[in-house]
Structure 1
Amino acid sequence: MRSSRRWRRLCGGRNSMDHTKQLLRISDIAAAAPDVLRYRFTAAEGELAPFLPGQYICLYYEIDGTTTGRPYSIASSPREAEEGGYYDLFIHVGGSFTSRWLGQHGTVGTTIRASHPLGEFCITPETPRKIVGISGGMSVTPLRSMVRSIVDSDTDREISLFCGWDDPAAMLFREEFTALARGCDRVRVRFALAQNPQPEDKHGYFTAEDILRETDAAEAAYYLCGPQAMYDTLHDGLTAGGVRPERYRREVPGELHCPPYPTAPGECYPLTIHTGSGTVTATAAAGESVLVALERAGVSPRAYCRSGSCGYCRSRLLSGEVWTDPDRAPATADGVFHPCCSFPRSALTVVLPE
């Protein structure tokens, strides 16, 4: 079938794909919620790279002479990229300094470099027919790509969505998901709100029992995207209820902007960086990741996810001490570490990958 062939073509080179940059152009901007804008990107050169629903791209910003990248989930469907020629990204422009920069300087016609699509938090041809998507807050965006791709397809794949929010004013996609569910019997959606729920909503947050009561733990694949607290709350209940590890996926939380311990304002450490073309000296702020220090020095390794999952930024620590978030990047042998989720605790000497 047409959709099945498209899945296979999009998935075919996933592990061997060259993640070199593509040049995108902002073709449209629309308000989606307070401080959230929908950016529609088209190809400024060539064609858009294909992707699988749930994957992300990394946008590369040039700010004050420093190049830095930030990952964003693609919220549109693969068919919209293939036939419509666009990616939709929903960006909280009141968030990180890079996203604020885009909100202030990105206009229709602005071009920006981006990676090719990446990530394992996605639907593939091997994904079970039944899918359960569970989201908390802004992390809902990859589920939009998934549900739209299912509606676009001519397969029998089905999806059940459980979307939670604190504040109804900040909600994304309520009307859209409700309309998709009304128009397609393979889509079901439930909402939970901590504040001012509507009569059909759950008041509070979804529990594992809520989700298991309405889904098939033995047959479905479960995709969770939200804050760490949501993962901690749901994990044990879902697995105890029969969700097998190979059918349980969670999106890695976003970039860790500061370490979970106090640092003194202005505290910095000397940083020596060995690259393939020479040695660079710089400083690393105690309250920023080593990757940010490398970016400020202009010698950053490739980095896409900024959360310890893609592995592209892995470097070697020759001397010094770093703290690495154990929930994101497990300790590795021979001094290999992930700069994106590691913070300096002393003077460092680092060797970057070729």
Structure 2
Amino acid sequence: MSLRERYRALPPNPFRRRRRDMLIGVAGAVISGMETVSGRARRVRLPDAHDSTLMLTVVERSVVAHDENVVALRLAAADHRPLPRWHPGSHLDIELPSGRLRQYSLCGDPQDRDSYRIAVRRIPDGGGGSVEVHDVLDVGATVATHGPRNAFPLTVPGYGSPTRRLRFIAGGIGITPILPMLGLAQRLGVDWSMVYTGRSRDSLPFLDELGALGGHVEIRTDDVAGLPSADDLLGDCPDGTAVYACGPAALLTAVRARLVGRAGVELHFERFAAPPVVDGTAFTATVASTGATVEVGADETLLAALTRSGVPARYSCRQGFCGTCRARVLAGEVDHRDALLTDPERAAGQMLICVSRGAEGTDLTLDL
């Protein structure tokens, strides 16, 4: 790879203004972020992307895990034009035929301008999105998106990052945003290693592709080695390491706890599920249009309580950065826990029901 090709393959450096990617929006550390695990966090504010709707057609469909619960879809532009560029860590906000909006990481080759690849694990009780992908999105089906966005950007050692090596940690379907990062690290000759965990080998997608990367990748499964500890996941992890982790909440919690106080290690992570409620208190919410009242427990989100009670509400990320679940509050005091809404928006009565909640003992009245 020539020097020019190496530079063009690099993702935009979120710490240098001259190389900002207009499609990247970096969320706070609560969602997927970069933090030095010593209490300091760096947040990047970039312009919003205002691209037009892009229609994508499913041109290929394949099962990529032996348990048959993970399907990979290759998507091409319905008008056959070249697709917008993307960089490792990017995802698509996809509007499914039902109208559900869901986010899926891009796990193909960033240099491929003809198609995008996503992979989705079937989760029967996951809100319907994954089941719809498995049961409805056959070859020829069409979905809508606004192009790639990146809330999990890769910064490459030696190319604008002060780190010297990369450690990748993937749990199950968490391999999807990591996979393109591995390819880039391999092409650039970066020092990297990875551990890939899951219940069993049958449940892990893309094992054949990972096998081509040789000894850089350790496959560790619970049925053979037991549940991994944080030390198993991190390896030796000397100072100067950038850790990229994606997987279940327990995996991320263990890694973050183990790195507390390690000022010489960067932690970048992405969740595929809603973060746990911390320091929550119970409150009630009333739907203005119907008068229905919902009790929200101290350990559940307002969105979860509404869904449990059969109240329809739009959502996507469940982590407070996409804005899909935005709702208007007609009465009651809001405990805002997002990093998206501006002060004027909050003053106008808006809230994100996936992470924000009512103050203790309050009754929120919602215009849904």
The residue type equivalent to 2:228 in the other structure is Y
The residue type equivalent to 1:26 in the other structure is V
Q: 1:59 aligns with which of 59, 83, 94?
A: 94
Match in the other structure for 1:29: 61
Match in the other structure for 2:227: 204
The residue type equivalent to 2:287 in the other structure is P
Q: 2:287 aligns with which of 270, 283, 287?
A: 270
Q: 2:8 aligns with which of 5, 10, 30?
A: 5
* Same amino acid, percent of matched pairs: 20
Cα RMSD (Å) of the superposition? 4.0
In the alignment, does 2:197 pair up with 1:194?
no
Separation in structure 1 between the aligned mates of residue 264 and residue 231 of structure 2, nearest angstrom: 11
- 3-state SS of paired residue (2:50): coil
Cα deviation 1:150-202 (Å, max 9, x = unaligned): 33x3x3323211111123320123332122135xxxxx1122221035xxxxx
The residue type equivalent to 2:55 in the other structure is L
Cα deviation 1:301-348 (Å, max 9, x = unaligned): xx6633213457555534236687x6x769986455323335688452
Match in the other structure for 1:278: none
Cα deviation 1:241-293 (Å, max 9, x = unaligned): 4444xx211113424799999x9xxx983236xxxxxxxx7968668855997
The residue type equivalent to 1:341 in the other structure is V
Separation in structure 2 between the aligned mates of residue 18 and residue 239 of structure 1, nearest angstrom: 38
- 3-state SS of paired residue (1:240): coil
Cα deviation 1:31-66 (Å, max 9, x = unaligned): 112211111111113332221201111111232xxx
In the alignment, does 2:254 pair up with 1:233?
yes
In the alignment, does 2:122 pair up with 1:93?
yes
Separation in structure 1 between the aligned mates of residue 313 and residue 252 of structure 2, nearest angstrom: 35
- 3-state SS of paired residue (2:224): coil
The residue type equivalent to 1:181 in the other structure is G
Match in the other structure for 1:39: 73
Match in the other structure for 2:353: 339
Match in the other structure for 1:200: none
CA contact (8 A) 1:192 1:206 kept: no
The residue type equivalent to 1:339 in the other structure is I
The residue type equivalent to 1:4 in the other structure is Y
Separation in structure 2 between the aligned mates of residue 148 and residue 161 of structure 1, nearest angstrom: 12
Separation in structure 1 between the aligned mates of residue 291 and residue 109 of structure 2, nearest angstrom: 42
Separation in structure 1 between the aligned mates of residue 132 and residue 316 of structure 2, nearest angstrom: 19
CA contact (8 A) 2:194 2:217 kept: yes
Match in the other structure for 2:36: none
Separation in structure 2 between the aligned mates of residue 205 and residue 235 of structure 1, nearest angstrom: 14
In the alignment, does 2:365 pair up with 1:348?
yes
- 3-state SS of paired residue (1:309): coil
Stretches of structure 2 that go unaligned for 5 or more consecutive residues are: 13-18, 25-45
Cα deviation 1:207-227 (Å, max 9, x = unaligned): 2366241x33x2221111112
Q: Which moved more, 1:112-121 or 1:235-244?
A: 235-244
TM-score by structure 2 length?
0.70
Stretches of structure 1 that go unaligned for 5 or more consecutive residues are: 183-187, 198-202, 273-280
Separation in structure 2 between the aligned mates of residue 308 and residue 271 of structure 1, nearest angstrom: 23
Match in the other structure for 1:132: 167
For residue 146 of structure 1, report the CA deviation from its aligned partner.
Answer: 0.9
In the alignment, does 2:121 pair up with 1:107?
no
- C-alpha spacing 1:239/1:57, structure 2 compared with 1 (3 Å): same
CA contact (8 A) 1:321 1:348 kept: no
Q: 1:156 aligns with which of 189, 206, 217?
A: 189
The residue type equivalent to 1:108 in the other structure is V
CA contact (8 A) 1:19 1:116 kept: yes
TM-score by structure 1 length?
0.73
- 3-state SS of paired residue (1:2): helix
In the alignment, does 2:210 pair up with 1:181?
no
Match in the other structure for 1:144: 179
CA contact (8 A) 1:27 1:42 kept: yes
- C-alpha spacing 1:179/1:236, structure 2 compared with 1 (3 Å): same
- C-alpha spacing 1:253/1:104, structure 2 compared with 1 (3 Å): closer
Separation in structure 2 between the aligned mates of residue 240 and residue 159 of structure 1, nearest angstrom: 23
The residue type equivalent to 1:166 in the other structure is R
